[in-house]
Each structure stands twice: as C-alpha cells, then as structure tokens.
Amino acid sequence: MTDLVVRIGTRSSELALRQARQVAAALAERGVASELVEYTTIGDRILDRPLNAIGEKGLFTAELEADLITGRTDCAVHSLKDLPTADPEGLTIVALLEREDPRDALVVGPNTTARTLLELPKGAKVGTSSLRRRAQLRALRPDFDVRELRGNVGTRLRKIDAGEVDAALLAAAGLRRLGLGDRIVAFMDPPDWISAPGQGAIAVQARANDERMTAILATLDHAHTRAAVTAERALLAALEGGCQVPIGACTTYEAKYGPMLHGIIASIDGVSVVRGGLPINADDPASSGRELARQLHAAGGAGILEELREELAEAAAAKAAEKAAAQGAS
C-alpha cells in the first residue's frame, strides 16, 4: 500500500481542479498519495451552443468515465450535479464529500444597483444556461429577458462584468470553491427557489468491482450528504429528467422535521409550475424522492413534462430537416 498512488481523473476547468484537489487533500490526510489526470471534455470545448441543444447525456463526464473503465485512472471526481442519475455500466459513486451550500446565487454586473432578483429593473437581462433556472426566473419575473450564458464560472463572470447581462444565477458552491464568494449578492432560498438535484456535492466515482479503491475512498463519504442527494436524484430519476428538463430538487434541514426534500417541475416559459415537499425517510431516502416525484407528477407535472417532450421532439425534427436541406443544397 505504501507505493500506491491513486490516479484521479478530473476535468481541467479551474473549478473541477479545485474539487479534485479537495479529494486529493482528503486522501493525503489519510496517508494516501494521489495524482491528477486532466481532461478537456466535449462539454468544455463546445461553447457556442446551449447545453440542452447539444443534447448529449454526460457531456462533461463521458471521457473520464471511459478511461476509468479501462483502468487508465483509479477514480474520477465530478460535480454530482453533472452526473446522469444512472451509473454507467461498471462504475459507481463510492464517495460523496460533505456538501457545500446547495443554493443558487445571484451575481450582478457593474451597472446594476439591485441586490435581489426582485429589485432588478423591468426587462432586465438575466443570464443562465439552465432550463431549471430559466423556468423559475420566468415564473418569478415574466418581464425578464432571459439570456443564454455559457462557459465555465470565470467566463460567465467576465460576461456579466462586460455587461452582456445585468445579472446571472450561478451555483453558490462553485463560486465559493473558486474563492469568489464575495461576488454573491443574494442567495436563492428554498422552498421558494429550488436548485438542481445534487448541487454542491462532489462525487468520487470508481469501478464497482475495485475493492481496494472502494475501501480507501469510502472513508471520504459523508452520510448526511449522501442521504440528501440520494433523495434528490431519486426524484429526478423517477421523472426521467436530465439537464434537459426544468426539474429542481433540494434539501433543507428543519428543527421540527429533520431533512426535508423540496421539488419543482416547471414549463420553460415559467407559466406552469408544480411544487411540493416532504420529510426524507432516513432509512430509505430514495423512496422519499420517488414519492415526491409521484406527487408532483400527479399534481400536473406529467402534463408539463409531456408538453416539453413534444416541444423538444419538434425542435429536434426541425433541426434534422434543416440539416438534410443544407446537405441537399451543397
């Protein structure tokens, strides 16, 4: 064991590197040496299109997972939020580090005096590339001009500072990990505002049959984080949502109820919104996620998702027809 060096796969963005270094530091505390293996993924390279239009699952994760499966690396570190709910064949999440703040945060540009979403002027340009954030923004303020804002956290902040948008919503966890917590002017609090399932949690993935790595990495697992994100992701999985659908889920901790799961399904235009919440069953958090999914589905969520799938299918068909026409012309 003394000559073991754990090879940790990570994306090469600054945020990903910080998260991977956090795992490396936790391993070092336990006397385990490690080294980072960096990847620039398809998701990092394609910056000119909205993420939901690229339409591929695991855009930021596929290459890391492929090398983990073949054994080039021993584990991979991801933002849990970016991982599809189903584990790839042969891989499993062996550790979830103690979660950072799971909330979304408001960041404003230099020409904006507003310090909350509601203080922003009528028709303000607000940036996000997430359908979940877009839908909730539209629900709260139909007058906003919601703009696509892509790129890693640093890029997005530069665009905000350049005045491309007046304000934007980002994950508080990402900003904090980058030492940019002072850019946050307001936190978006649940249950009024629901962030993404798993947001703020760092996942360490390994081969399911690698007993040695599992034994080492399992010591990094944080039980409360695991319970909360298991419930949140079970909700998402039950609704078959990826990053393509405006579904939110997050956990709060209340003196009276303990951990509470909150969920939302919204149409992209924010007109139809279904919300709900229930206490998380400590013995079976996934069952709570499935139960809340069932309730949201029954309360109108089914119709919202059905309409959304039709819209997405139409958009995909239109795109395919456009492509075929272009090929015919050339």
Spot the catalytic one: 67, 74, 82, 283: 82
Q: Rounded to an integer, what distance in angstroms lies between the CA atom of residue 329 and that of residue 325? A: 6
Q: What track of x and - describes contact with ligand PBG for positions 190 through 209 (by CB under 6 A)?
A: ---------xx---------
Q: What track of x and - describes contact with ligand PBG for positions 231 through 270 (by CB under 6 A)?
A: ----------------------------------------
Q: Which amino acid is at 189?
A: D
Q: Rounded to an integer, what distance in angstroms lies between the CA atom of residue 142 and that of residue 144? A: 6
Of the pair 99, 207, the CB lying nearest ligand PBG is at: 99
CB of 86 to ligand PBG, least distance (A): 18
Of the pair 52, 267, the CB lying nearest ligand PBG is at: 52
Dihedral pair phi/psi, residue 143, rounded to 5°? -80, -15
For residue 164, CA distances in Å to 125, 184, 271, 325 come to: 8, 18, 26, 33
Q: Rounded to an integer, what distance in angstroms lies between the CA atom of residue 296 and that of residue 276? A: 7
Binding residue for ligand PBG (CB under 6 A) from 82, 166, 210, 232? 82
174 belongs to the binding site for ligand PBG (CB under 6 A): yes
Return the half-sphere exposure (C-beta side, CA atoms, 13 A cut-off) of residue 49.
Answer: 11
Residue 186's SS3 state is strand
CB atoms within 10 A of CB 280: 26
Peptide bond into 50 cis (omega under 30): no
Of the pair 225, 267, the CB lying nearest ligand PBG is at: 225
Give me the residue label for tokens 């999914």.
Answer: 293
User: Residue 210 in contact with residue 94, Cβ under 8 Å?
Assistant: no
Q: Rounded to an integer, what distance in angstroms lies between the CA atom of residue 127 and that of residue 170? A: 9
Of the pair 200, 270, the CB lying nearest ligand PBG is at: 200
CB of 75 to ligand PBG, least distance (A): 17
- Whether 145 is catalytic is no
Which secondary-structure segment (H or E) carries 106?
Answer: strand 104-108
Of the pair 112, 128, the CB lying nearest ligand PBG is at: 128
Q: Which stretch in 2-10, 75-83, 141-149, 276-284 sits in contact with ligand PBG by CB under 6 A? A: 75-83
Q: Which amino acid is at 82?
A: D
Binding residue for ligand PBG (CB under 6 A) from 173, 204, 238, 247? 173
Binding residue for ligand PBG (CB under 6 A) from 97, 137, 149, 171? 171
Q: Rounded to an integer, what distance in angstroms lies between the CA atom of residue 198 and that of residue 101? A: 11
170 belongs to the binding site for ligand PBG (CB under 6 A): yes
Of the pair 64, 153, the CB lying nearest ligand PBG is at: 153
**Number of residues this chain uses to bind ligand PBG (CB under 6 A):** 10
CB of 220 to ligand PBG, least distance (A): 15
Interface residue list for ligand PBG (CB under 6 A): 79, 81-82, 153, 170-171, 173-174, 199-200
Q: Give me the active site residues, please.
A: 82
